[in-house]
Chains A and B, each alone.
Chain A
């Protein structure tokens, strides 16, 4: 059960009642008081969110998913298949125009309903999806198109077929390609950033993270199961993992946070999506000015710094050294 959805129930009732009263022509002091009450409740409910609440926000059934971002682009032409095995519907990619600029877009696609979620494997990408992504990255580099990715996955697919087709090699392949392509790479973590399966398309020159998105080394459930043998302790694990946008900005793992409306991106999604696209556009403009060698060198140095260790000088933490 999604704790945010649960919490919204009371609020939704109140909002519906306000709507009814307005229809009946109620106005003046009574209305104002009620509206103020709702506003206060909203702030009370969503003003400060715990890590676990943000995990639930990132998994909210109404949260904008990759296709909502793709629909907000000027144009998008999907390109299919890994040329070897099959087309993975969990990884959507293709040529796009973003605010007039030609780009290659890659995204992890969850479904809006159960039927689509099953078709899209809940946004969990299989090796053929990563191989498609790798192919499209190389294609982008050949034609000097920047790469833009929208990350939203609970993790890479952990099924038998994925192991049989070398999930590890497919993800390593994506990472190797992203270390090589001499075009700007901008990643937007818009929902769940699930471990290596997310990073495979998010090794980027600039990383934007939605305020209530999460990006984690392991799912809170997986972490709790590994550490305590009890997946039910996921809320506790979420706090430990430092997976929120603020945490990751502090570590230098993300470069920018896209603020969300109070109550989450789904409460007013169209302007929020534009805000993410604004950030991408700004990053692309800045990165486009860099010569290829400098771009690759900056990418190398960006990740080279990340970590926390002693030795070779003072303690370095979170890339802030």
Chain B
């Protein structure tokens, strides 16, 4: 499917560069970081090690070998509930499109990781807090269906505040839709890896976030079902600082690995090698053209 010019441009490295100066402040330690160094360091603060939230296309670009064939970019949100609070939902979407330079909260497509063809989904917190509305559900489902058809491993990077309020129950039902697609995908022996990034909560963590064969998490990412504030309100006390961090989840036995972002790609390649194996890898070009039903 043809990629619009405005999207193609945004695929170039360092998507967020044009709206910022040469320097960027670390949100954690306030260190001024030279932008070029920061990009080279995968948006990890060289002083405190903080993992700055990455733009979805930056993530894609730093993972795939060469081309990334995006699918689902033409799947765009409607306004099923006619939602309007401070401003109408379509206006919020428009603002987030401009602010985030994304068409929705997830980017999906195909590419190779060190030669391994994969179906890749990357969520972005900058678009409506990475919430799952019907477009996120639909794009993820299409990715899993198409990945299954091509017998490819699937890797999804999650970043989400949960289900999207403005699409009501239609948003919640995307948990069911994506899980059904995931079931079929996994049942046919395909590998599914979830990479939980900051933050991953609610309907995303309780569906394709935690229903993975392998669950990795980025260092210090906040991960949980209920949001921190909700829990604090319920129990009426402050939570310990490490609660619901990737490291906490590793200790409790919920996830396979916690990784520094700079170790993530090599780790994914090793895992693909263990589970899928080099010998089974077919070149991406040999796969028939996209024909999603």
Chain A interface residues toward B at CB < 8 A: 156, 158-160, 162-169, 171-173, 175-176, 179-180, 195-196, 199-200, 203, 215-218, 222-223, 226-228, 240-243, 247-248, 251, 253, 299-300, 303-304, 306-312, 315-318
B153 within 8 A of A: no
* Chain A interface, DSSP helix/strand/loop, else mixed: helix
Task: Please tell me if the beta carbons of A317 and B80 are within 8 angstroms of each other in the complex.
Answer: yes
Question: Contact: A168 with B177, CB < 8 Å?
Answer: no
Residues of A within 8 A of B172 (CB): 195-196, 199, 216-217
Decide: A158 and B176 in contact? CB cutoff 8 A.
no
- In the assembly, what is the distance between CA of A180 and CA of B184, in Å? 9
Q: How far is the CA of A218 from the CA of B234 in the complex (A)?
A: 15
Are A307 and B224 also in contact (CB < 8 A) when A179-B179, A317-B80 are? no
Scoring B residues 181 to 195 as 1 if CB is less than 8 Å from chain A, else 0, what string do you get? 111100100000000
Are A167 and B226 interface neighbours, CB within 8 A? yes
Decide if A173 touches B80 in the complex (CB within 8 Å).
no
Q: For chain B, which range describes its interface: under 10, 10 to 19, 20 to 34, or 35 or more residues?
A: 35 or more
Q: A167: nearest residue on chain B (CB-CB)?
A: B225
| Most B-side CB within 10 Å, residue of A159, A175, A318 | A175
Bound together, the chains give a CA A162 to CA B170 distance in angstroms of: 26
Q: Is B163 an interface residue (CB 8 A)?
A: yes
Cβ of B32 to closest chain A Cβ, rounded Å: 32
Give the contacting residue for A309; candidates B85, B138, B165, B168; CB below 8 A. B138
- B175, B180, B211: which has the most chain A beta carbons within 10 Å? B180
- CB of A303 within 8 A of CB of B176, answer yes
For the complex, is B38 an interface residue (Cβ under 8 Å from A)?
Answer: no
Q: Given the complex of chains A and B, what is the CA–CA distance between A304 and B178 in angstroms? A: 8
One of B134, B207, B235, B252 near A308 (C-beta < 8 A): B134
Interface residues of B in 127-159 (CB under 8 A from A): 134-135, 137-138, 141
Knowing A158-B230, A217-B169, A303-B180 are in contact, say whether A309-B78 is a contact too (CB < 8 A): yes
| B83 in the interface (beta carbon within 8 A) | yes
Once bound together, how far apart are the Cα atoms of A179 and B181, in whole Å?
9
A293 to chain B, nearest CB (A): 12
Task: Pick from B177, B207, B211, B244: contact of A307, CB below 8 A.
Answer: B177
Q: Is the CB of B177 within 8 A of A304?
A: yes
With A217-B168, A309-B77, A310-B76 as known contacts, state yes or no: A299 contacts B175, CB within 8 Å. Answer: no
Contact of A310 with B206 in the complex, beta carbons under 8 Å: no
User: Known contacts A166-B254, A167-B224; can you find 13 more A-B pairs with CB under 8 A?
Assistant: A160-B243, A168-B210, A171-B225, A172-B206, A176-B179, A195-B172, A203-B180, A242-B81, A300-B180, A303-B177, A309-B75, A309-B135, A311-B76
Q: Contacting B234 at CB < 8 Å: which of A158, A223, A240, A307?
A: A158
In the complex, which of the residues B168, B183, B235 contacts A241, with contact meaning CB atoms closer than 8 Å? B168
Closest-by-CB residue of B relative to A315 is B78
Residues of A within 8 A of B224 (CB): 163, 167-168
Q: 14 interchain pairs (CB within 8 A)? A: A158-B230, A159-B231, A168-B209, A172-B208, A175-B211, A196-B203, A203-B179, A216-B172, A240-B81, A243-B168, A251-B169, A306-B134, A309-B134, A316-B78
